[in-house]
Amino acid sequence: MLMDLKDRKYKRSKNYAESFLHAFTGLKTAFLEERNMRFHTFAALAVIICGFFFHVTKSEWILLVLSIFGVLTLEMVNTAIERAVDVATEQYIDEAKKAKDVAAGAVLLAAFVASLIGLIIFIPYFCQMFL
């Protein structure tokens, strides 16, 4: 199996347009094939809607955007790692499982921090609205 992979040659993108096409294909693949990517995307949309509704400050927008794209980016890296590990071995290997678990843990940490940032930003707005 590994020998087959080493023998296979992957062609490089010929130009920037082709590189962007591959990148957009990756975004589409992640969204269509990864349940967690869809969850994070819809959560991001909810946060963006709340941001517009509450007219958050520029500083708050910066934190929200960095948090959102941090989580989405790590979710895609996690997906790439999981797929690469799956291609590398068809059998159970403890180190492969650890690599996949660590990548998933990175997404969990990013999502936790993003949630904290969201709560810190939005709780005062919700309190002001209801109290």
pLDDT in tens, 56-108: 999 999 999 999 999 999 999 999 999 999 999 889 999 999 999 999 999 99
Distance of CA 14 to the CA centre of its chain: 27
Choose, from 18, 60, 75, 82, the residue flagged as catalytic.
75
- Rounded to 5°, the CA angle 32-18-16 comes to 120
> Is 34 annotated in the active site?
no
Token digits of residue 125: 């707005």
Evaluate if pTM is beyond 0.75. yes
- Neighbour tally for 118: CB within 10 Å: 20
> pLDDT, tens digit, for every residue of 25-61?
999 999 999 999 999 999 999 999 999 999 999 999 9
Closest CA to 116 of 56, 71, 78: 71
Residue 72's SS3 state is helix
